[in-house]
């Protein structure tokens, strides 16, 4: 096991989401673990100890990853290498880029080159670039875990438990400028990061600057889809230890009245050799005449299945609840445009 202080803890969220761990910062010296605003805080929940408990007969060694070459040398002697990498962030600040900090991209690339059975576990609160994406055997997005969640990260890394969660946003393919160029403080020449003074002094406010919210409905994954921008992994992507097949998608209105509920039905089959769980998703878009509006996630549900079994799944909902439904004001009255065209069920690609 390599990197990210995985021998003693896992990174926590920052800002108002910060929960001070018992005993203070886990990576600090005894008695020196006092927590402070906008400093990296680590929970005392060790993935190393969790894996050792799950695989008591295995020999598990740890390397800090501070020296990528030394970590790669150790990885080359192991059956499996698990690299923990993190991106700390907090409210009241912006990341300098979407790249992993502290030379972690180099660490992952060298370890994966030394051992083809490398698993990368990401502890991040937002998307990061992955220039090494083709090198490791698996990538687990652990997000920023709460206290006591080391067991989940350890179980996923050694295939105890199904990695049934899916990407909550698109993960970018390229470095460079962000997906949106909408107005913000930096566009007006106002420096937000690295301002001098204490938080109390900065609380007085920034000088006025213009902000333009011109993205409309194109927020998050909808922007990528509407602009046809390539992504590394799309919203809703996620792999499983088994495989699934979808078929027989039907959409049936439950009545002919405007805004009535519709029923979406499809067949989900577990085509693999082990039991698993799938998060099925349904997306909706407006009829072709209004396709300038981006398609949107409409509904999702967790489906469990045994090997070589299939089942029909049926959902009922109102089209106006879809994110693609919009309202417009004409002659003093509001009108709602609701989806009339449903796209196929989207599901994760399994391997």
Tell me the H-state helices in 140-286.
150-157, 199-202, 221-227
Q: How many CB atoms lie within 10 A of CB 187?
A: 13
- Is residue 191 situated within a structural domain? no
pLDDT in tens, 212-231: 888 877 888 888 888 888 88
99: domain CATH number is 3.40.50.1700
Q: Which domain holds residue 273?
A: 244-342
Q: Mark whether 16 and 155 lie in a shared domain.
A: yes
Instruction: Give the pLDDT mean for 172-181.
Output: 54
- Is residue 275 situated within a structural domain? yes
Contacts of 341 (CB under 8 A, 6+ apart): 284, 285, 286, 287, 288
Q: Mark whether 251 and 145 lie in a shared domain.
A: no
Q: Mark whether 157 and 14 lie in a shared domain.
A: yes
- Is residue 338 situated within a structural domain? yes
Confidence of residue 280 (pLDDT cuts 50, 70, 90): confident
Q: How far is CA 318 from CA 192, 254, 336, in A?
A: 43, 10, 13
Return phi, psi of residue 187, to 5°: -65, -20
- Is residue 28 situated within a structural domain? yes
- Is residue 199 situated within a structural domain? no
pLDDT of residue 121: 94
Q: Mark whether 150 and 33 lie in a shared domain.
A: yes
Q: Which of 194-198, 256-260, 331-335 has the lowest mean pLDDT?
A: 331-335
Q: Mark whether 29 and 131 lie in a shared domain.
A: yes
Domain termination site, one of 161, 191, 225: 161
- Is residue 48 situated within a structural domain? yes
pLDDT in tens, 232-243: 988 888 888 888
d(CA 338, CA 324): 7
pLDDT in tens, 22-32: 888 999 988 88
Domain termination site, one of 161, 191, 216: 161
Contacts of 313 (CB under 8 A, 6+ apart): 265, 266, 267, 268, 280, 301, 303
Domain termination site, one of 137, 161, 185: 161
- What is the token pair recorded at 52? 């050792």
Count of domains forming the chain: 2
pLDDT in tens, 13-60: 887 777 888 888 999 988 888 888 788 899 998 999 999 999 999 999
Return phi, psi of residue 340, to 5°: -120, -5
Q: Environment class of residue 292 by beta-carbon count within 10 Å: exposed (0-12), middle (13-18) or buried (19+)?
A: exposed
């Amino acid at each position: 096991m390599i990197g990210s202080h995985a021998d003693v803890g896992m990174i926590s969220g920052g800002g108002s989401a910060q929960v001070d761990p018992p005993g203070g910062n886990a990576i600090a010296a005894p008695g020196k673990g006092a927590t402070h605003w906008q400093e990296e805080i680590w929970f005392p929940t060790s993935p190393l100890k969790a894996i050792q408990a799950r695989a008591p007969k295995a020999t598990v060694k740890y390397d800090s990853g501070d020296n990528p070459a030394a970590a790669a040398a150790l990885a080359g002697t192991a059956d499996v290498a698990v690299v923990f990498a993190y991106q700390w962030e907090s409210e009241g600040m912006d990341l300098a880029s979407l790249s992993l900090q502290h030379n972690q991209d180099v660490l992952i690339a060298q370890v994966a080159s030394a051992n083809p059975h490398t698993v990368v576990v990401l502890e991040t609160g937002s998307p990061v670039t992955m220039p090494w994406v083709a090198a490791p055997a698996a990538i687990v997005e652990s997000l920023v875990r709460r206290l006591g969640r080391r067991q989940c990260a350890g179980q996923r890394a050694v295939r105890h438990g199904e990695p049934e969660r899916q990407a909550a946003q698109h993960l970018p393919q390229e470095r460079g400028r962000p997906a949106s160029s909408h107005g913000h403080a930096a566009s007006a020449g106002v420096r937000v990061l690295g301002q001098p003074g204490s938080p109390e002094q900065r609380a007085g406010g920034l000088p006025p600057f213009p902000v333009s919210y011109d993205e409309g409905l194109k927020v998050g994954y909808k922007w990528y889809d509407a602009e046809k921008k390539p992504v590394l992994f799309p919203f809703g992507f996620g792999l499983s230890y088994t495989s699934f097949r979808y078929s027989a998608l039907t959409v049936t209105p439950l009545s002919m009245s405007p805004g009535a509920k519709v029923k979406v039905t499809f067949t989900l089959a577990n085509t693999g050799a082990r039991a698993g769980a799938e998060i099925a998703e349904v997306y909706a878009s407006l009829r072709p005449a209004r396709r300038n509006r981006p398609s949107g996630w409409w509904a999702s549900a967790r489906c469990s299945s045994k090997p070589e079994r299939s089942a029909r799944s049926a959902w009922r909902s109102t089209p106006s609840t879809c994110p693609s439904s919009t309202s417009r004001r004409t002659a003093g009255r509001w009108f709602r445009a609701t989806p009339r065209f449903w796209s196929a069920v989207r599901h994760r690609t399994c391997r």
